[in-house]
Every structure is written in C-alpha cells, then in structure tokens.
Structure 1
Amino acid sequence: MFHHVSIGVSDLNRARQFYDAALEPLGYMRLSTSDKWLGYGAEQPQLWIKLAERPVVADMESGLHFCFVADSEESVRGFHAKATVSGGTDNGEPGIRPEYGSFYYAAFVIDPDGYRLEAFFHRPE
C-alpha cells in the first residue's frame, strides 16, 4: 500500500548510526544519503529519515509504530540486538507473540528519537 514513509529526527548522525545497524540484519541498507536525509530499503528507499526542526514528540500511548518484515527469526534477533547496542531501547525481546497469532515472531525497540519499531517474521506452521 505505501510507497514510502518519512520520519523526522533531531540528530541525523545519531539516526544514521542507529538505522544502519538496526536494519542491516533485516536486509535493508542505506541507499541514499545527504546532509538532510537518509533513505533505507532493500532495492529502493522506502523509509526516509529526515532532519527536522520539530520532530514528532515521542508518545508511547499514541499507538504509532513501524513494523519491518524479517525473513527469519535470526534476523529478528539481530535487529533487536543491534538496535539496543546502537542507541535504541528494548521494548520487547524477540519471541512468539501469541496475542497476535501462534506464528508471529517479533521484537520491539524504541529508536533514539522515541519512535517505536518492530521486526516481524511469520513463522511457518
């Protein structure tokens, strides 16, 4: 449905370090770089990180989060591990989420600007 998503951050260098590390295990990489934005994806940028004067204020109760598709449980674990050592905060360790389905394997982190992120793998039956 979406062609891309853009989010604003207060520190582009900090965001680059975080997203370069966190998205690598999922097979996504930085494909575009400037002094005002970063673009991430597998083949073309689909997540744009932009330097913003007034980024959206982090709100844990807003319901807003972004979920990345993973190709294995190992990549979900890698996402969580690299995100939490690169400036992110744990918001749910890797594991099955029975409340979402018996085959829903995911991990959750909060990026340095307060955005809630998820990596998800649909475990085969």
Structure 2
Amino acid sequence: MIDHMGFAVSDYERAKTFYAKVLAPLGYELIMEVPAAVNPSGAPAAGFGENGKPDFWIGGEGKLAYPLHVAVVAKTREAVDAFYKAAMAAGARDNGAPGIRPHYHANYYGAFVLDHDGHNIEAVCHAPG
C-alpha cells in the first residue's frame, strides 16, 4: 500500500495553484507546505490530501526528464467530470475526456489530463454508473 507519492515540477507556484484547483473536485486540498530551507531536497514542497493527511506531493526541484502518470480516486463519476473541467480551466491539456474505459474493467470511468510539465494526471471512479 502506498502512503504518499511526490514528484518534481518546473514551476512550483504555478503547479501549486494548478493542483489546488484540479484536485479540489476530488476532495483534496493543500494540507501543508515544506519550505526550501528545511526540505532535504533544498526546494519547497506542497502536500495535498484529505482529512488532514497529505499524500500527493509536488516539489520545486525542476522538471523531470520523463513525465509520470498519477491516478487519483474519485468517489463518483460526477467528480471525475468536475476534475476534468477544473483541469481544463486551469490550463491542462486533454489526454482523454471523461468516459468508460472498458479495456480496464466494465465500471472504469476516468479522465486524463496533462499538466504544465506533461505529467499524465487521471481521476478514476470504479463504482458502477
């Protein structure tokens, strides 16, 4: 089981604003920030999550050589739709509009967007329609 994950971004403040908007429909909020002066990486970090636990972290170390894929659970299909709408409004690029992905399983409802660094961010609901 994964406790938390984090990745570097090229523009920390822009990414922090982007993820605050994009993750809000999924129930995530900015929970804490770690200043560069006390972070072992020497860069600021922001932790997003719910119920007071940050589990989705971004850090200002700079753009990764290769983009990554992160999927965040959505409780409803409507939350997936809201995530996608918020992401597009925040400057994301479409990488797969909300919809059923039956090649994964019959109830896999997901949406995919590319953030400013090209990371593939997904919201997915596994519940039946």
TM (norm. structure 1) is 0.89
CA distance in 1, matches of 2:66, 2:120: 9
**1:38 lines up with 2:42 in the alignment:** no
Kindly provide the CA deviation profile for residues 25-84 of structure 1, in whole angstroms up to 9, marking residues without a partner as x.
00011101245111000121101110014x31245xxxx411100000110001111011
CA distance in 2, matches of 1:21, 1:117: 13
Contact 1:30–1:41 (8 Å) recurs in 2: yes
Q: Which runs of no fewer than 5 residues in structure 2 stay unpaired?
A: 36-43
5 Å-filtered alignment, 1:67-106, equals 67-106=71-110
Instruction: Kindly report structure 1 stretches of 4+ aligned residues shifted beyond 6 Å.
Output: none
User: How high is the TM-score relative to the length of structure 2?
Assistant: 0.87
Size of the alignment, in residue pairs?
120
Q: Cα RMSD (Å) of the superposition? A: 1.4
Q: Which amino acid aligns with 2:32?
A: S
Tell me which residue corresponds to 2:111.
107
- Could you report, residue by residue, the CA deviation over 1:63-122 in whole angstroms, capped at 9, with x for unpaired residues? x41110000011000111101111211100001111111111000001111111110001
CA contact (8 A) 1:58 1:113 kept: no
| Structure 1 unpaired stretches of 5+ | none
1:50 equivalent in structure 2: 59
